[in-house]
């Protein structure tokens, strides 16, 4: 039943479509309003289910190059997950530690982790870039970035 990639994706999309429709039907409707807030979401939910069903029966039109994109070596999947965890930690501590400190740590360790071995230039970029950006945003553009533990 679920032989091709298209069929598997379409099933996921149909489930999403049904979930969205259920929520759309729960939206309140008001009297004396010719078009309520639920009409567009209901239409979209139905459209998604219809399109996903078409996808289920459609022939696989992907080129070899497009298929090759999915063959990611396990090592790279690890790298992707690690970088996303770095970003997560970056966001988590951004307001607490401040933009400058967190960005310095992030740029240095992320670049190092991804294989940048010139530590001196890495350190220079990691220190200078966040300082320049912080200065530009807070002084010139009057947009405050999280200060956190940063003294200025």
Partner 1 sequence: MGSLEGIIAGFQVAFSLEGLLFVMIGVFVGTFIGMMPGLGPISAIAVMIPITFGMDPAPALVMMAGVYYGAIFGGSTSSILLNAPGVSGAVATAFDGYPMAQQGKAGKALAIAAISSFIGGTVSVILLMLLAPMLSSVAISFGPPAYFALMLMGLTAISSLSEGSTIKALISAVAGFMIVTIGIDAQTGTQRFTFGNVNLLEGIDFLVIALGLFALAEVCTLIIKRKDLSQENAHKLGSMRLSKQDFKDMSGPVTRHSFLGFILGVLPGAGATIASFISYITEKKLSKNPEEFGKGSVKGLAAPETANNAATSGAFVPLLSLGIPGSGTTAVMLGAFLVLGVQPGPLLMTDRPEIFWGIIASMYIGNVFLLILNLPLIPYFAKILKIPRPLLISLVIMFSIIGVYAISFNTFDLYMLLLFGVVGFVMRLFSFPAPPFILAFILGGMMEQAFRQSLTISNGSLTVFVQDPIALTLLIVALLSFVFPLIRVIRSRRA
Measured from the CB atom, the residue of 115 and 151 that comes closer to partner 1 is: 115
Q: 44, 72 in Cβ contact below 8 A?
A: no
Least gap, CB of 152 to partner 1 (angstroms): 17
Q: Which residues bind partner 1 (CB under 8 A)?
A: 5, 9, 13, 20, 23, 27-28, 30, 33-41, 44-45, 47-48, 51-52, 54-55, 58, 61-63, 66, 69-70, 72, 76, 79-80, 83-84, 87-88, 90-92, 94-95, 99, 103, 106-107, 110-116, 118, 122, 125, 129-130, 133, 137, 141-146
What's the half-sphere exposure (Cβ side, CA atoms, 13 Å) at 102? 19
Three-state DSSP state, 70: coil
Measured from the CB atom, the residue of 2 and 27 that comes closer to partner 1 is: 27
Least gap, CB of 151 to partner 1 (angstroms): 20
Give the DSSP letter string of 82-140: HHHHHHHHHHHHHHHH-HHHHHHHHHHHHHHHTT---HHHHHHHHHHHHHHHHHIIIII
């Amino acid at each position: 039943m679920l032989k091709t990639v298209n069929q598997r994706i379409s099933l996921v999309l149909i489930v999403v479509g049904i979930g969205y429709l259920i929520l759309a039907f729960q939206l309140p409707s008001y009297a004396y309003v010719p078009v309520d807030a639920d009409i567009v979401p209901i239409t979209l939910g139905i459209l998604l289910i219809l399109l996903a069903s078409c996808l289920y029966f459609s022939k696989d039109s992907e080129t070899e190059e497009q298929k090759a994109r999915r063959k990611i070596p396990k090592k790279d999947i690890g790298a992707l997950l690690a970088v996303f965890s770095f970003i997560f930690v970056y966001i988590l501590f951004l307001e607490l530690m401040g933009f400058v400190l967190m960005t310095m740590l992030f740029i240095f360790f992320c670049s190092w982790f991804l294989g940048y071995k010139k530590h001196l230039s890495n350190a220079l970029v990691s220190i200078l870039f966040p300082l320049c950006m912080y200065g530009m945003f807070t002084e010139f553009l009057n947009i405050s970035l999280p200060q956190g533990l940063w003294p200025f």
